[in-house]
Structure 1
Amino acid sequence: MSKLVLEDVELYYNRVHALRALSFEVGEGEIVALLGNNGAGKTSTLSMLSGLVRAKSGRVTWGDKDLTKLQPWDIVGAGLLHIPEGRKIFSTMTVHENLLLGGYLVKDQKLIQERADYAYELMPRLAERRTQQGGTLSGGEQQMLALGRALVGGPKLLLLDEPSMGLAPLIVKQVMEIIAAVNKQGTTILLVEQNARAALKIADRAYVLESGRVTMSGPANELAADPRVIEAYLGA
């Protein structure tokens, strides 16, 4: 059973203390949301988990693997895929070419195609635009493309950074439904999201970060009803 466990993680950017004794866990098959305002440490957490930045101290394990000792490409190889804020698709490549790039570590070409077909089935809008350049897509379609590209990589744990950013409410709902559907197929998800209302609707559990540390945690439905969360993140 693969569980993600962070224990007393400390992270600095030069003199900025980004994560402070950060500890939490994500169980296999869960959707866990990380909530918090700008500067709370949410993106830093995902960057550290994917090996883009290194923790100064603490331990991070995914099943029997110590992620703090792995290179970013080895972390991807272990099944942790990170969709960064802003999507980061390849704008001059077609939708289909973007999807296929998600399988760059997958040696089985038939499997890559099967996963691409699944992405098209899950997100028919991508199928309609498979020959269009990624840069011509709307923001919501680009987010779907980023999700589809990750799915071709066969993620066991998907790290999502602000998937709703800049999207209209109806598109946010669609993207969250797609994330929930991916989870139902067995992918564990760690969701960083400022849209707390949308995140708590699909999450099993959530953690609230402030200044790089966990200040609240619990089942998503309980946090959604907590007056402190309502006041700070959901609106009165």
Structure 2
Amino acid sequence: MLEISGLDVHYDGVHALRGLSLTVGQGEIVALLGNNGAGKTTTMSATSGLVRPSGGKVLFEGEDITGLAAHKITSRGLVHCPEGRRIFSTLSVHDNLLLGGYLVRDQAEIKRRIDHVYGLLPRLAERRAQQGGTLSGGEQQMLAIGRAMVTGPRLLLLDEPSMGLAPLVVAQVMELIADINASGTAVLLVEQNASAALKIAHRGYVLENGVGTLSGTGEELRSDPRVVEAYLGGS
């Protein structure tokens, strides 16, 4: 579904990505691992049109989307759920979800998608009239993912969905991602919690200083001594 080849991104003279190449296939969860500053979020932003690459190509379902405006990329079914949740805190849960359908003209389809999200996340259904800013951190993350799902992704970019969450909630978020994937949505997952990400990922890549250094199946990376030492706490 997604093919990134030779991607370069510069920020204010800093070479943030250096010839990065990766793929995400139909039905896959692909994890992108690396320390802070490795280029993970830049990869997501360049893929979704928030940042313009200085070199390389991004192909989505065979179409060159390199440098295309973000809303045009979203309308094609490549949807970015950014780091930090970024929900509308003064709007209700339901209104946040409605905004996920901003580009969708069919009101019946928006309702169907929101009902699907409520089915996946009954806690959001219970709180549909509650202001987003009054939810717990885990609930806000669920809302951010749910809003992205209303957009109708065929490929979902998830940036640090477990950030700041308790271990039990992290497990719930990872279960949700696996459920979304099982329903037919491919996922590119940027995640600081490498152990949690690799448990659900079919494949993964490791980024260091803007360069892809390792790749393999989730199981291969979980057992790779370099990954264990750097990202899995040496255990």
Q: TM-score, normalised by structure 2?
A: 0.98
Q: Distance in 1 between matches of 2:109 and 2:82?
A: 24
State the match for 1:16 in structure 2: 14
State the match for 1:103 in structure 2: 101
Measured against aligned partners, the alpha-carbon deviations of 1:172-227 in whole angstroms (never above 9, x if no partner) come to 00000000000001001000001000000100000000011110000001110111
CA contact (8 A) 2:32 2:190 kept: yes
1:27 shift after superposition: 0.6
State the match for 1:172 in structure 2: 170
State the match for 1:66 in structure 2: 64
CA contact (8 A) 2:53 2:67 kept: no
Amino acid at match of 1:30: E
Amino acid at match of 1:230: V
Q: Distance in 1 between matches of 2:219 and 2:186?
A: 19
Q: Distance in 1 between matches of 2:111 and 2:101?
A: 9
Amino acid at match of 2:153: P
Q: Distance in 2 between matches of 1:202 and 1:109?
A: 33
**TM superposition outliers: structure 1 runs of 4+ over 6 Å:** none
Amino acid at match of 2:200: I
Amino acid at match of 1:128: E
Q: Distance in 1 between matches of 2:55 and 2:220?
A: 32
| Number of residue pairs aligned between Structure 1 and Structure 2 | 234
Secondary structure of the structure 2 residue equivalent to 1:112: helix
Q: Distance in 1 between matches of 2:68 and 2:14?
A: 24
Amino acid at match of 1:147: I
State whether structure 2 residue 144 is matched by structure 1 residue 130. no
Measured against aligned partners, the alpha-carbon deviations of 1:119-146 in whole angstroms (never above 9, x if no partner) come to 1110111011100000000110000001
* CA RMSD after TM alignment: 0.7
Equivalence map 1:1-236=2 (5 Å): 3-236=1-234
1:64 shift after superposition: 2.5
Measured against aligned partners, the alpha-carbon deviations of 1:15-62 in whole angstroms (never above 9, x if no partner) come to 110000101111111000000000000000001011111110111101
Q: Distance in 1 between matches of 2:13 and 2:178?
A: 38
Amino acid at match of 1:141: E
Runs of at least 5 residues in structure 2 that lack an aligned partner in the other structure: none
Q: Distance in 1 between matches of 2:67 and 2:143?
A: 30
Q: Distance in 1 between matches of 2:214 and 2:147?
A: 33
Q: Distance in 2 between matches of 1:63 and 1:93?
A: 34
1:69 shift after superposition: 4.1
Q: Distance in 2 between matches of 1:32 and 1:45?
A: 13
Amino acid at match of 2:161: P
Q: Distance in 1 between matches of 2:68 and 2:228?
A: 38
Q: Distance in 1 between matches of 2:120 and 2:67?
A: 35
1:161 shift after superposition: 0.4
